[in-house]
Every structure is written in structure tokens, then in C-alpha cells.
């Protein structure tokens, strides 16, 4: 499980560390506020979401973590199996719902409407944390409807803390370092064999 102790703040200097440390106290959850973490892939949005979820768990709060695509799939499956109301009730009652990776997979009209219903039911009743690789003006490309996107953002951003995270992909930087070390090691071995 990822915690904030293992987050590399040096790699993401633009991140508001003081706000993040304040959010780790979880008071925003009791106030039924939301967090939206925006930024490109590989910069630590999921790590931060997991760390905030872990902090909430450590305070005894109920937390559910899912990707947006998995949640929409589960909602559609529940609808088809006539158990949608039960799932919606569960999603509405969890103290913190973390929806990761909104923006990676576009949804059908039905999927987008079911996701909107989750946000709508949680509005001012539960805290929601969303991570997305897209700026708000591009969410329509995932949800398919400007009207629906506007209504969803209206509810989600009413009581919100926005974490804009920019920088180079941590995974890409780690891979580059690994390749550089491998090349240096190989070069040193070849020099030693001559």
C-alpha cells in the first residue's frame, strides 16, 4: 500500500505539499468535500489517492478505491443483473469514494449516465476523490455529452480541493535511469574484458 512517506516530492516540485499534508488529516472527508487530482500520466496521482485513502482507513473511515472504467463496467453489469439500486446505495454510503483514471477510457452514453448518478447521489453526502489525466474542458470526450459533463463538474467542483500535478512521468524517468545504469554497467564490463 502506498503512503505519503514514499512519495517523491522532489520529482514533482509544483505540487502543493502543504495542502496535501493538510488533506492527510482527512477533515475534508468529514466535511463531504471532494478532491480532483489532475495531470499527465505517471506523475503520482494514483499514489496520492492511495495515500489519502490509507490515511482515511487509519482513521476508521470506509473507503472504496476503483478505476473509472471498472466502476462504469460494474454499474452496467449491476443494471443488467437487476442489482443496480443495491450497488448505488453502497457507493452513496461509503465515506470516501476514490475514482482513479477518469479520462483514459471513453464511456457509452449509458455508462456516463450511470457514473453521473454516482456523483449526483454523493453530492454533499460523501467525499469523492477523482484522478484524471484530462483538464476539465476535455472531460466531454470521455462522458460524451456537454450537458452531462457540465452537471457532473458542477456537483464535483462545488466543494473541492484541486491538486494540479505536473512534471515528467515518474515511471518514464525511472525507466530512463535504469537503462542508463544498464548501459554504464555493460560499458564497464566491456572495458574490463579488454
pLDDT digits (tens, 9 = 90+) for 81-135: 999 999 999 999 999 999 999 999 999 999 999 999 999 999 999 999 999 999 9
Strand partners, 164: 38
The CATH number of 4-168 is which of 3.40.50.12280, 3.40.50.850, 3.40.50.300, 3.40.1450.10? 3.40.50.300
pTM of the model: 0.89
Measured CA to CA in angstroms, residue 179 lies from 41, 174, 183, 184 at distances of 20, 9, 6, 9
Residue 186, Cβ density class (10 Å: 0-12 exposed, 13-18 middle, ≥19 buried) = exposed
pLDDT above 70: residue 194: no
Measured CA to CA in angstroms, residue 15 lies from 8, 21, 111, 164, 191 at distances of 11, 11, 32, 7, 43
pLDDT above 80: residue 175: no
34 and 160 in contact (C-beta within 8 Å)? yes
Spatial separation of the C-alpha atoms in residues 152 and 155, rounded to whole Å: 5
Percentage of the chain exceeding pLDDT 70: 97
Measured CA to CA in angstroms, residue 90 lies from 22, 32, 62, 63, 84 at distances of 28, 16, 11, 11, 10
The residue ranges of every structural domain in the chain are 4-168
Edge to edge, the sheet with strand 160-164 lists 63-67, 96-102, 127-132, 34-38, 160-164
pLDDT digits (tens, 9 = 90+) for 29-54: 999 999 999 999 999 999 999 999 99
pLDDT above 70: residue 173: no
Q: What is the DSSP letter of 44?
A: S
Based on its alpha-carbon atoms, the radius of gyration of the chain, rounded to whole angstroms, reads 20
Amino acid at each position: 500500500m502506498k503512503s505519503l512517506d514514499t512519495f517523491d516530492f522532489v520529482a514533482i516540485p509544483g505540487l502543493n505539499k502543504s495542502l496535501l499534508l493538510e488533506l492527510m488529516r482527512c477533515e475534508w472527508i468529514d466535511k463531504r468535500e471532494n478532491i480532483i487530482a489532475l495531470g499527465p500520466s505517471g506523475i503520482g496521482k494514483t499514489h496520492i489517492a492511495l495515500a489519502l485513502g490509507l490515511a482515511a482507513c487509519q482513521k476508521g473511515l470506509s473507503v472504496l478505491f476503483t478505476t473509472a472504467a471498472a466502476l462504469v463496467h460494474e454499474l452496467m453489469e449491476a443494471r443488467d443483473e437487476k442489482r443496480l439500486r443495491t450497488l448505488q446505495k453502497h457507493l452513496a454510503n461509503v465515506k470516501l469514494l476514490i475514482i482513479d483514471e477518469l479520462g483514459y477510457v471513453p464511456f457509452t452514453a449509458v455508462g456516463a449516465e450511470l457514473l453521473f448518478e454516482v456523483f449526483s447521489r454523493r453530492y454533499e453526502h460523501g467525499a469523492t476523490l477523482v484522478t484524471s489525466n484530462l483538464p476539465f474542458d476535455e472531460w466531454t470526450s470521455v462522458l460524451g455529452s456537454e450537458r452531462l459533463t457540465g452537471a457532473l463538474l458542477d456537483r464535483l467542483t462545488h466543494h473541492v480541493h484541486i491538486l494540479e500535478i505536473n512534471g515528467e512521468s515518474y515511471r518514464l524517468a525511472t525507466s530512463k535511469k535504469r537503462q542508463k545504469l544498464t548501459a554504464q554497467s555493460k560499458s564497464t564490463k566491456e572495458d574490463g574484458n579488454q
